[in-house]
Amino acid sequence: MSNNGRVEPISSWLMRDCMKNGHELGFHGYNHVSLVKRDWKKPEFIVTALEGVHKKWKVSNFGDMPISYVPPSNYIDQMGLKKLKEGLPSISFMCSLYLGETYEGGNREFDFDPYHHDMFDYPRISSGFEIDESSKYNIQSMYLYTGIWNHFVHPDDVYQIPSPFNKSAGEFELRNAKGLGWRKTKGKPGGLLSEFDKYLKEFTTAFPQSRFLNAGEGGFIALDWRASKFNHKTYDGKYIVEALNTENSMSNSQYWFLYGTTENAENIELQLKSIAVIYSKTKYLDGYLYSAYTNEPSFRIKDYREYRDKELDFIFSKVKNDYYSYVAKVREFEQGEDVSEVYEEQIRLEKAALKQRMLSESSIDYPTWNKYAEYMSWENKSEEVWIMLEKHCAKYPTKENVMYSQELDKLIGYPNDLAMEKWINAQLLVNPRDKDLLNSYVANFNTPENKKK
């Protein structure tokens, strides 16, 4: 390419253009051959090639040597990591995949690499300009867990289109299988740029505090986060989180995630206005996921948890049963046991935990009773649940407990007409002015015998 009378390779021009626009220059390989044993008959040539990269970088005045590396085809093994660090010691961040297999270069966490402790893994979760539903699920899952969305685009994402002459995909799927153009597509609305822009707007609308950082910036922040330690405690009705050893951190400012139910939203937001520089909220489950930014590495908010001892006992019992179920599944996998037997044991353990909670609490917890009733109905034992409810209401005859019989009827139905009449009578005793109940009773039991009653 000729530029102002100067002729240079297109690759060099592209590098300078990236530098001019403030982008980070990372490293993606000498010749796009993965650094794995099977692809290098003489692994010592890897170091020779990387030394060539170093020389080219310096001679061409590309600035500081790269610190981030994306493995070609996302493949790299233990040997490759060792040679990479030997040939390009400036590489500090290995940007492979969050998913996949460790031995191939995937399954990386935000942590020091399991094969080379002098490199920190800063993995990606998605790639390309078209974000399908599966990718969205992965992106959201990692973001909720870490607050990070790492994405990768590649020239193949544009030009790798369906064609009998295009063999560039190799063993992989085409990256632009729909054959979309960049800005527009013949016979189709929009192109790759508009598709990607649409998802960026969707994501930043959901999470408006998202920052767009390059691998070097984000890598150091992730490293600082993983090196940080936090203390969680409750005191005087407050839930308190405090960073420890803050003198070793990059900054005292901190981003936080907080989940709150809809009923607590107004009160939570009043508190956030006084403790956060900025906060935003995203509708999530039965409430909101709050993103908050503070100037201090501590966070204090009202402790909305109202766990009682019995509830904690139930949670402990449920976790213990889940662990036993996990152990059973592992045994089934290792020994080839019947999956149905393991599943039945899992259900039995969960039923036992549910029943323990039901019997230990005076007030009926609808979800707990509903789940237990559902399991019992699978075994044609619905009537036993009604007997349990009758005994429970005899011992704790509150309005809320008696009215649960309506909920149970919707779920598994009254066992017979006699039981139905008995429970509607009980409901009328605690709700004597409920016209719907009276009408239901008349519609079902308006018989000569009942008129005498």
User: What confidence score (pLDDT) does residue 377 get?
Assistant: 85
Average pLDDT over residues 238-242: 92
User: What confidence score (pLDDT) does residue 290 get?
Assistant: 95
User: What confidence score (pLDDT) does residue 311 get?
Assistant: 61
Average pLDDT over residues 376-391: 90
Summarize pLDDT for 16-38 with one digit per residue, the tens. Answer: 899 999 999 999 988 889 999 99
One-letter amino acid identity for 276? A
Which of residues 84 and 245 earns the better pLDDT score? 84
User: What confidence score (pLDDT) does residue 151 get?
Assistant: 95
One-letter amino acid identity for 319? V
Summarize pLDDT for 287-307 with one digit per residue, the tens. Answer: 999 999 999 999 999 988 765
Of 122-131, 156-165, 422-431, least confident by mean pLDDT is: 156-165
Average pLDDT over residues 146-158: 91
Residue 410 has pLDDT above 60, yes or no: yes
pLDDT band with cut points at 50, 70 and 90 for residue 11: confident
Q: Are strands 151-152 and 126-127 parallel, antiparallel or unpaired?
A: parallel
Residues 6+ apart with CB under 8 A from 28: 69, 70, 72
User: What confidence score (pLDDT) does residue 372 get?
Assistant: 92
Dihedral pair phi/psi, residue 161, rounded to 5°: -105, 160
Average pLDDT over residues 180-207: 92
Residue 76 has pLDDT above 90, yes or no: yes
User: What confidence score (pLDDT) does residue 449 get?
Assistant: 55
User: What confidence score (pLDDT) does residue 189 get?
Assistant: 83
User: What confidence score (pLDDT) does residue 245 get?
Assistant: 87
Provide the token pair at 207: 């999470």
Average pLDDT over residues 254-270: 93
End-to-end CA distance of the chain: 102
User: What percentage of the chain has pLDDT greater than the value 90?
Assistant: 58
Average pLDDT over residues 250-273: 92
User: What confidence score (pLDDT) does residue 446 get?
Assistant: 62
Residue 324 has pLDDT above 90, yes or no: no
User: What confidence score (pLDDT) does residue 176 get?
Assistant: 82
Residue 199 has pLDDT above 90, yes or no: yes
pLDDT band with cut points at 50, 70 and 90 for residue 5: confident
Taking the whole predicted model, whether its pTM rises above 0.85 is answered as no
| Euclidean distance between CA atoms 157 and 131, whole angstroms | 12
Query: b/e map of 276-302 (b: 16 or more CB within 10 Å)?
Result: beebbbeeeeebbbbbbebeebbbbbe
User: What confidence score (pLDDT) does residue 260 get?
Assistant: 92
User: What confidence score (pLDDT) does residue 339 get?
Assistant: 57
Which of residues 405 and 338 earns the better pLDDT score? 405
Mean confidence (pLDDT) of the chain: 88
One-letter amino acid identity for 295? N
User: What confidence score (pLDDT) does residue 288 get?
Assistant: 95
User: What confidence score (pLDDT) does residue 187 get?
Assistant: 84
